[in-house]
Amino acid sequence: MESCYFPEAYTDKLSILDTEIAIKLVKDTFEKKLAENLTLTRVSAPLFVRPESGLNDDLNGVERPVGFDVPDAGCEVEIVHSLAKWKRQALKRYHFAPNTGLYTDMNAIRRDEELDNLHSVYVDQWDWEKIITPETRTVETLKQTVRQIVKAVKGTQNRLAETFPQIKSFLSTDITFLTTQELEDRYPDLTPREREDAVCREHKTVFLMQIGGLLKSGQKHDGRAPDYDDWALNGDLLIWYPLLNRAVELSSMGIRVDAAALQRQLAQAGCEQRKTLPFHQQLLSGELPLTMGGGIGQSRLCMVLLQKAHIGEVQASIWQDDMIKACEEKGITLL
């Protein structure tokens, strides 16, 4: 509860029914624009995988997956944390061409999430992935993709404002690109979260690059699994959200590890035993294509575009009793 923020004199701009209509509008519009801008095709994806496949994403390395047994199949499975690795295999299996890719609806349960305005144990994302070439495995490719995603977000917000005039368009398409080291150099006395707030308060829309490795201070800006993003070619898309008076992450994305980056990052993370897993063996032997991809939070995007104060206003999940009571008192209607 201490991490939950309640805006002063909060007033919901939409009724519950209009909220549901607006959620559908946002999801349909953004999904179409994302697919068009990045040349993506929608595919079906798994809700759970076998742990021995090495396909599940371990996020920061401490989150516990939700698992259960499937007696008829004689195996244990885990609900996915994300589809970062699965998507790369799917691109090969479905024979996608360079500069094209896939997107899918990813649903997950993150049992160890700390609940607040932005975080829920239920996670819904558009997960996307596309094939790149050695020549396009560059920072500029990453930046150009970010511009296309922001363009899709802005177009969606404009469409929403046309249907619901009380929802004003506020996102900036002027993107500031900088690295986590540049951010630490700029704000050495602030925590990573405070740095993000400071830079987004000033620049509104920021793509923060190179997340996962150690900074000059000896600390990480944030954790990243060592076996999907290349820590030198990834980043988070952040915006300034006036209603909560803070930076909000809309997407985490990046160019994925090649064999060299995988070897290097597994060693840095002390996870070299993963080399024996099927996914990692395929990657190290050059069987998988070079790719880039990311996840874009569906509820997170709806919350921001509908200008809600709590993610529970756009998704049905589980919350602490005292949080439910406090939200009721502040005029925040949880679904």
Q: Which of 105, 113, 116, 249 is catalytic?
A: 249
Residue 61 confidence (pLDDT): 57
Q: Which of 125, 251, 298, 315 is catalytic?
A: 125
Position 8 in a domain = no
Residue 110 known to be catalytic: yes
Residue 134 confidence (pLDDT): 94
Q: Which of 58, 236, 258, 313 is catalytic?
A: 236
Q: Which residues pair with 130 in a beta bridge?
A: 101, 292
| CATH number of the domain encompassing residue 181 | 3.30.930.10
**Residues in CB range of 142: below 8 A, 6 or more apart:** 209, 233, 234, 235, 253, 254, 255, 292
Tokens of 216: 């000059």
Position 5 in a domain = no
pLDDT in tens, the chain (335 residues): 557 788 888 888 899 999 999 999 999 999 999 999 999 999 998 888 888 777 776 655 567 888 888 898 888 888 887 787 788 889 999 999 999 999 999 888 888 888 888 999 999 999 999 999 999 999 999 999 999 999 999 999 999 999 999 998 889 999 999 999 999 999 999 999 999 999 999 999 999 999 999 999 999 999 888 888 999 999 999 999 999 999 999 999 999 999 999 999 899 888 888 888 888 898 888 888 999 999 999 999 999 999 999 999 999 898 889 888 888 888 888 88
Q: Which of 57, 58, 129, 258 is catalytic?
A: 57
**How does DSSP assign 202-228, residue by residue?**
HHSEEEEE--SSB-TTS-BSS---TTS
Position 301 in a domain = yes
Residue 312 confidence (pLDDT): 92
Residue 138's domain comprises 16-329
Position 313 in a domain = yes
**Residues in CB range of 185: below 8 A, 6 or more apart:** 216
Tokens of 3: 């991490």
Residue 236 known to be catalytic: yes
**Residues in CB range of 94: below 8 A, 6 or more apart:** 43, 102
Write down how long the chain is.
Answer: 335
Position 4 in a domain = no
Which sign does the torsion angle of CA 27, 301, 33, 229 carry?
negative
Position 94 in a domain = yes
Phi, then psi, of 281 in degrees rounded to 5: -65, -40
The single residue listed with the structure tokens 């959200």 is 241
Residue 243 confidence (pLDDT): 92
Residue 286 confidence (pLDDT): 87
Residue 84 confidence (pLDDT): 78
Nearest CA-CA partner of 291 in 58, 91, 114: 91
Tokens of 98: 């360079």
Q: Which of 82, 157, 251, 252 is catalytic?
A: 252
What angle, 0 to 180 degrees and rounded to 10, lies between the N-to-C axes of helices 298-305 and 16-38? 120
Residue 56 confidence (pLDDT): 73
Position 57 in a domain = yes
- Do 312 and 120 form a contact (C-beta atoms < 8 A)? yes
Residue 285 known to be catalytic: no
Q: Which of 31, 82, 88, 110 is catalytic?
A: 110
Residue 57 known to be catalytic: yes
User: Between vectors from CA 115 to CA 111 and to CA 116, what angle results, nearest 5°?
Assistant: 160
- Count of domains forming the chain: 1
Residue 62 confidence (pLDDT): 67
Residue 146 confidence (pLDDT): 97
Strands (E), 101-209: 101-109, 122-131, 175-179, 205-209
Residue 66 confidence (pLDDT): 84
Strands (E), the chain: 40-42, 48-49, 67-70, 75-79, 101-109, 122-131, 175-179, 205-209, 229-241, 246-256, 291-297
DSSP class of 298 = H
Residue 322 known to be catalytic: no
Position 292 in a domain = yes
